[in-house]
């Protein structure tokens, strides 16, 4: 069984979409999504600098658009259900996955992620907050240290990685006194996502969600809340709203994929992070990171073998 997974914020790098603009139809697709998002995603994916695309209001629609555009290329018009048995996204990547699964149209997904990005950017600007990856160490020890510093385990990514979130002062104290046998790596994000610091963004996003008409997913679609499959589109959309202020349990999503019998994992652009986690958390599962058009042949071979 093949799982298609969609990365979250922080996966973007300057110029990552440049090679894709040489693939017929991709620029036009991105231009359409740019109109919906009211921002130039082609420029942001090709020429904008790192600081520009770090902005939450830019990064989130950019990542979703990149995933949708590259997924269309690799599937080459085939229905999603012919290729994938499972879809999952990490953080904002859940919106990419929801659109791929048919819960939202591409236009609705772009409108929704644009509202999400702006709302979270505003919430992040209200207080100096951030996130840092804690890599290594015993999980219980890491969680205990985070509690001591009043930090939230905002992303539990499995494979020995937990992302802490809180104020910059709290994160600085964590970096000065890391858990035993662990490294603390600051992340290039603008705020403490998936914590109560994002509470104000939830209310605005709920108003945006109320304007949408979600459909039930065409393939098994997993939720960040608990890694569970969600068969009803309305419930999944409700989870997308509340997940802004709730922790991401990617460790649980990986376990669910294993329990379902996933044997191949394809990560859409900007790819690499989730395939990397799967190498440690889903041992034995074949993975392809769709970073550039040079990866298309490998991705299509993976689909043929594991669909």
Token pair for 125:
């600007």
Q: Are 106 and 72 in contact (CB under 8 A)?
A: no
Give the neighbor-by-neighbor strand order of the sheet with 129-136.
152-158, 161-167, 129-136, 182-186
197 is catalytic: no
Catalytic, 91? Answer: yes
Tokens linked to 16: 């990552």
Q: Which of 83, 91, 208, 223 is catalytic?
A: 91
Count of beta carbons in the 10 Å neighbourhood of residue 124: 22
Please name every residue paired with 289 in a beta bridge, in sequence order, or none if there are none.
267
DSSP, res 194: T
DSSP string, 41-72: HHHHHHT--HHHHHSHHHHHHHHHHHHHHHHH
Q: Which of 90, 194, 197, 306 is labelled catalytic?
A: 194
CB neighbours of residue 203 within 10 Å: 10
Backbone angles phi, psi at 152, to 5 degrees: -105, 135
Using alpha carbons, list the distances in angstroms from residue 127 to 111, 124, 165, 217, 241: 26, 6, 13, 37, 21
Residues listed for the chain: 307
CB-based contact 98:215 (threshold 8 Å): no
Indicate the SS3 state at residue 230. Answer: coil
Active-site residue numbers? 91, 194
């Amino acid at each position: 069984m093949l799982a298609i997974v969609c990365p979250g914020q922080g996966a973007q790098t300057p110029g990552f979409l440049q090679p894709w603009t040489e693939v017929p139809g991709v620029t036009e697709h991105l231009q359409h999504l740019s109109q919906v998002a009211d921002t130039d995603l082609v420029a942001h994916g090709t020429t904008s600098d790192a600081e520009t695309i770090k902005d939450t209001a830019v990064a989130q629609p950019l990542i979703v658009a990149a995933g949708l555009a590259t997924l269309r290329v690799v599937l080459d018009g085939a229905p999603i259900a012919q290729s994938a048995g499972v879809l999952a996204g990490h953080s904002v990547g859940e919106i990419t996955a929801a659109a791929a699964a048919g819960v939202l149209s591409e236009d609705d997904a772009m409108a929704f992620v644009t509202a999400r990005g702006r709302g979270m950017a505003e919430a992040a600007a209200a207080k100096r907050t951030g996130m840092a990856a804690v890599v290594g160490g015993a999980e219980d020890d890491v969680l205990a240290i985070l509690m001591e510093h009043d930090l939230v385990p905002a992303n539990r990514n499995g494979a020995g990685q937990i992302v802490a979130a809180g104020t910059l002062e709290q994160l600085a104290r964590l970096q000065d006194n890391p858990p035993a046998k662990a490294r603390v790596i600051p992340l290039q994000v603008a705020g403490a996502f998936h914590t109560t610091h994002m509470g104000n963004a939830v209310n605005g996003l709920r108003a945006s969600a109320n304007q949408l008409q979600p459909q039930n997913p065409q393939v098994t679609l997993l939720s960040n809340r608990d890694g569970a499959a969600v068969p009803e589109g309305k419930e999944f959309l409700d989870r997308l709203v509340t997940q802004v202020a709730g922790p991401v349990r990617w460790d649980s999503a990986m376990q669910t994929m294993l329990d379902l019998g996933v044997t191949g994992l394809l990560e859409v652009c900007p790819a690499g992070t989730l395939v990397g986690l799967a190498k440690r958390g889903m041992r034995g599962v074949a993975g392809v990171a769709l970073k550039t058009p040079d990866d298309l042949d490998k991705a299509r071979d993976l689909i043929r073998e594991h669909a």
